[in-house]
């Protein structure tokens, strides 16, 4: 029998026979606890580097309870699951053919039973998404997003560097019912879209036609009723000057309806977002190309601005990540180094033990805000906040 490729649409026979009932019994629809948002205020003044995971990845996610970390390890050739407390590798799901197939962004289901990833195939420049049982490594389903897409083959926009030229994003909804996926060229997409998948069946529920050409990431509200996507559009003004418009779009994942398009000002681009525990507000951390940055809190229902708080940044900072508390954030750059800043009390603490000012991907805080992980070319350091 011919070996299937990573992008072959694969559904386990048992799931095909009994469909959603198997998915339910497997725990797809088990109500996972809503990720806790920093009840006790973590102090990063005495933070400690507790682990350096020996793998190279550029995407990672904490589990909803903060005890596991999933990443596209081995330089994108494996979906790895790590025990955060012990720093030990628990499982590794290899690509079907590591010479032609690799993984992009990853996610772990709220109940911790399944992992998902964006899949790249170098053979035909195809992109897909897949779901696996994280304990057995067995594929539940794999679906194509783009097949032999001309958009990812053009040399003038780095298509020849596929998949290094691709930016992807993947998120589970907190209720475990949906997966949101997106993939684009590094310099933006002419056909920006977000796919919403049914976790139990692998069915594509909606294709959200976004107008954010450089979509950076996505996030579901704690009640799974809103999906936020953020990024920017670039345009060339008269005289040849460039203009960037930072955007956040809010979607209803149940209907596919666009609820609001939130626009930043003064060429500030949203880098990271955090919903409030009740889902009523959304805070974005945005920065321009030089020194201006702020934390802006939006009303999810109306799309209006609730408040804006200045954020401290250096011109060279290109790493900005917001904690779930919407007050604490990581910034890193080659001049000012790596720091944790609390905008509420206006204090700043250096992040020691591992330099993430260069060669690093986007950092991520655990759901309770007590831990921080940053994928880098030299491993994944994990810090614990002080008491």
DSSP assignment of 140-180:
EEEEEEESS-GGGT-GGGTGGGTTTTEEEEEEE-TTSSEEE
Q: Residue 27, class by beta-carbon neighbours within 10 Å (0-12 exposed, 13-18 middle, 19+ buried)?
A: middle
Per-residue model confidence (pLDDT) at position 163: 76
Quick check: 24 and 200 in contact, CB under 8 A?
yes
Is 70 part of a structural domain of the chain? yes
Query: pLDDT (tens digit, 9 = 90+) per residue, 344-375?
Result: 999 999 999 998 988 888 899 999 999 999 99
Compute the distance between CA of residue 177 and CA of residue 169 in angstroms, rounded to an integer.
Answer: 17
Is 334 part of a structural domain of the chain? yes
Q: The domain containing residue 187 runs over which residues?
A: 41-386
In the numeric block, the tokens 């904490």 are attached to: 62
Query: pLDDT (tens digit, 9 = 90+) per residue, 244-259?
Result: 889 999 999 999 999 9
Per-residue model confidence (pLDDT) at position 161: 67
Q: Residue 251, class by beta-carbon neighbours within 10 Å (0-12 exposed, 13-18 middle, 19+ buried)?
A: buried
- The more confidently predicted of residues 41 and 146 is 146
Per-residue model confidence (pLDDT) at position 152: 58
Is 26 part of a structural domain of the chain? no
Over residues 53-67, the mean pLDDT reads 97
Compute the distance between CA of residue 11 and CA of residue 202 in angstroms, rounded to an integer.
Answer: 8
The yes-or-no verdict on residue 169 having pLDDT over 50 is yes
Is 32 part of a structural domain of the chain? no
Return the CATH number at 226.
2.130.10.10
In the numeric block, the tokens 């601005």 are attached to: 305
The encoded tokens of residue 21 equal 């009932």
Per-residue model confidence (pLDDT) at position 149: 60
Over residues 1-22, the mean pLDDT reads 37
Compute the distance between CA of residue 152 and CA of residue 171 in angstroms, rounded to an integer.
Answer: 22
- The more confidently predicted of residues 371 and 33 is 371
- The more confidently predicted of residues 37 and 55 is 55
Is 359 part of a structural domain of the chain? yes
Residue 248 CB neighbour total at 10 angstroms? 23
Q: What is the pTM of this model?
A: 0.86
Per-residue model confidence (pLDDT) at position 35: 44
Is 356 part of a structural domain of the chain? yes
Per-residue model confidence (pLDDT) at position 203: 97
The yes-or-no verdict on residue 385 having pLDDT over 60 is yes
pLDDT above 90 coverage of the chain, percent: 61
The encoded tokens of residue 1 equal 């029998």
Compute the distance between CA of residue 340 and CA of residue 346 in angstroms, rounded to an integer.
Answer: 11
In the numeric block, the tokens 């990540």 are attached to: 321
User: How does residue 8 score in pLDDT terms, banded at 50, 70 and 90?
Assistant: very low
- The number of helix segments (H) and strand segments (E) in the chain equals 3, 29
Is 12 part of a structural domain of the chain? no
The yes-or-no verdict on residue 170 having pLDDT over 90 is yes
Residue 353 CB neighbour total at 10 angstroms? 13
User: How does residue 32 score in pLDDT terms, banded at 50, 70 and 90?
Assistant: very low
User: How does residue 153 score in pLDDT terms, banded at 50, 70 and 90?
Assistant: low
User: How does residue 4 score in pLDDT terms, banded at 50, 70 and 90?
Assistant: very low
User: How does residue 82 score in pLDDT terms, banded at 50, 70 and 90?
Assistant: very high
Per-residue model confidence (pLDDT) at position 237: 66
| Mean of per-residue pLDDT scores for the chain | 85
Angle at 110 between CA 104 and CA 116, to 5 degrees: 25
Compute the distance between CA of residue 42 and CA of residue 325 in angstroms, rounded to an integer.
Answer: 10
Per-residue model confidence (pLDDT) at position 194: 95
Domains of the chain: total: 1
User: How does residue 234 score in pLDDT terms, banded at 50, 70 and 90?
Assistant: confident
Per-residue model confidence (pLDDT) at position 34: 44
Q: Which helix (H) or strand (E) holds 309?
A: strand 305-310
Chain length of the chain: 387
Is 263 part of a structural domain of the chain? yes
Compute the distance between CA of residue 18 and CA of residue 268 in angstroms, rounded to an integer.
Answer: 49
């Amino acid at each position: 029998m011919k070996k299937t490729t990573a992008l072959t649409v694969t559904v386990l026979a048992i799931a095909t026979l009994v469909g959603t009932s198997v998915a339910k019994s497997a725990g797809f629809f088990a109500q996972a606890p809503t990720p806790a948002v920093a009840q006790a205020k973590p102090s990063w003044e005495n933070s400690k580097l507790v682990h350096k995971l020996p793998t190279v990845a550029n995407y990672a996610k904490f589990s909803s309870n903060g005890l596991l970390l999933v990443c596209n390890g081995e330089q994108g050739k494996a979906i790895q699951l790590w025990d955060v407390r012990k720093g030990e590798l628990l499982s590794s799901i290899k690509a079907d053919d590591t010479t032609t197939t690799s993984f992009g962004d990853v996610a772990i289901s709220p109940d911790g039973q399944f992992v998902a990833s964006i899949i790249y195939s170098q053979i035909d420049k195809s992109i897909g998404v897949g779901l696996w049982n994280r304990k057995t490594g067995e594929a539940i389903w794999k679906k194509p997003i783009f097949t032999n897409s001309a958009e990812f083959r053009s040399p003038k926009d780095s298509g020849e560097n596929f998949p290094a030229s691709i930016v992807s994003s993947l998120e589970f909804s907190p209720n475990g019912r949906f997966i949101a996926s997106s993939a684009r060229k590094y310099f933006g997409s002419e056909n920006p879209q977000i796919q919403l998948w049914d976790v139990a069946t692998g069915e594509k529920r909606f294709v959200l036609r976004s107008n954010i050409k450089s979509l950076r990431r996505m996030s579901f509200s704690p009640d799974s009723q809103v999906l936020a996507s953020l990024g920017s559009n670039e345009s060339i003004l008269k005289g040849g000057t460039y203009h960037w418009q930072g955007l956040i779009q809010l979607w209803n994942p149940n209907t596919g309806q666009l609820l609001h398009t939130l626009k930043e000002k003064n060429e500030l681009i949203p880098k990271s977002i955090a919903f409030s525990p009740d889902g009523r507000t959304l805070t974005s951390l945005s920065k321009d190309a030089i020194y201006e940055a702020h934390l802006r809190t939006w009303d999810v229902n109306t799309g209006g601005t609730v408040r804006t708080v200045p954020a401290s940044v250096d011109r060279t900072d290109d790493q900005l990540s917001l904690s779930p508390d919407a007050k604490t954030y990581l910034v890193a750059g080659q001049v000012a180094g790596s720091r944790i800043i609390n905008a509420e009390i206006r204090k700043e603490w250096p992040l020691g033990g591992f330099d993430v000012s260069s060669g690093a991907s986007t950092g991520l805080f655990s759901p309770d805000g007590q831990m921080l992980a940053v994928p880098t070319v030299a491993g994944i350091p994990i810090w614990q906040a002080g008491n």
